[in-house]
Amino acid sequence: MSESCNQDCSSCSKSCASREPGSLLEKPHAQSRIGKVIGVVSGKGGVGKSMISSMLAVNFQKKGYRTAIMDADITGPSIPKVFGVTEKATGDENAIYPVVTKSGIQIMSVNLLLEKDTDPVIWRGPVIAGTVKQFWQDVVWDNVDYMFVDMPPGTGDVPLTVFQSIPIDGIVIVTSPQELVSMIVGKAVKMAQMMNVPIVGIIENMSYAECPDCGKPIKIFGESHIKEVAVKYHLPVLGQIPITPSISGASDAGNVEELDGDWFAVTVSAIEAMP
Ligand code: ADP
């Protein structure tokens, strides 16, 4: 046991005999310094998990924190594209180095390693999970205050392995209005509880559209069920984000760092307030 042992193996990289039995947590690269790790999860793909991971990183970077995004959505990587990053990651015998965006956010994604980013990733679960572990172990993350992990969607073996391997401090659940009426959110909540990861709260994306003439919200999917779901699972509601062409346009153009909109203030404060 280390002299400075605080009995919390998840925040310690020492490999000692008294290490928590059964812990599968991997150690980061010796040259990395990573502060808080926030997982962004969803029950299925296409609900805006990558957009929200990106926007949270943009908001934290704007506040002066050193910020990073690990794109753990290996089969649907979209982080480089929304930041307009086309260069490839570099590496040497010691490590892999993240690409840095215009505003200084460090990112790592399988698309930064593939020769052609249009190539599909046709890998089985263990290879995918192994790649995410490498993003944690082999990448030098340079003095990061907040890392956002764009998690693989769903509750299958890949997200499970990521939860077991990376010391995630908290998760933000992203959902669409349709998912709120199904059991998908409940499954994501149960997975986090089983993994003992605190839930920062839930964001409903594509919640409504705004009338371009009068600004009135149009509830395309009917009345929202976010309040009931939040009460049922004891989750704070962090926000309801409209479906808007400014978000899809900025993602398509690779301009998310220039996107204005005050949709994330509550989420940012909730993450900053984490112990
Ligand atoms: P996921 O990571 O959950 O698969 P993405 O973040 O890639 O989903 O979002 C899917 C698509 O929807 C992207 O093209 C993205 O730009 C778009 N999108 C996400 N949220 C919004 C929104 N609130 N308004 C408009 N388009 C959105």
Q: What is the pLDDT of residues 117-138, one digit of tens each?
A: 788 888 888 888 899 999 999 9
> Helix 245-253 crosses helix 49-62 at what angle (to 10 degrees)?
80
Q: Which residue has the tokens 């990112």?
A: 107
Q: In this predicted structure, what is the pLDDT of residue 24? A: 85
Q: Return mean pLDDT, the chain.
A: 90
Q: What is the pLDDT of residues 189-218, one digit of tens each?
A: 998 988 889 999 999 999 999 998 998 999
Task: Return the biggest CA–CA distance within the chain.
Answer: 66
Would you say the CB of residue 247 lies under 6 angstroms from ligand 1? yes
Q: Is there a contact between 147 and 37 (Cβ–Cβ < 8 Å)?
A: yes
Would you say the CB of residue 173 lies under 6 angstroms from ligand 1? no
State the distance from the centre of ligand 1 to the C-alpha of 48, rounded, in angstroms: 4
Q: Which of 55, 251, 259 to mutate to test the pocket of ligand 1 (most atoms within 8 A of CB)?
A: 251
- Does the pLDDT at position 18 exceed 80? no
Report residue 214: phi and psi, to 5°.
Answer: -110, -5
Closest to 143 in 3D by CA, of 105, 94, 110: 105
Q: In this predicted structure, what is the pLDDT of residue 184? A: 81
- Does the pLDDT at position 158 exceed 60? yes
Q: In this predicted structure, what is the pLDDT of residue 117? A: 78
**Burial level of 133, CB count in 10 A (0-12/13-18/19+)?**
middle
- Does the pLDDT at position 262 exceed 50? yes
Tokens of 82: 């929304």
Q: What is the pLDDT of residues 27-54, one digit of tens each?
A: 999 999 999 999 999 988 889 999 999 9
Would you say the CB of residue 251 lies under 6 angstroms from ligand 1? yes
Distance CA 140, CA 134 (A): 11
CB atoms within 10 A of CB 96: 18
Whole-model pTM over 0.85: yes
Nearest CA to ligand 1 atom 5: 48
Tokens of 22: 């059964």
State the distance from the centre of ligand 1 to the C-alpha of 248, rounded, in angstroms: 6
Ligand 1 closest atom vs CA 150 = 2
The CA distances from residue 1 to 32, 33, 175, in Å, are 22, 22, 42
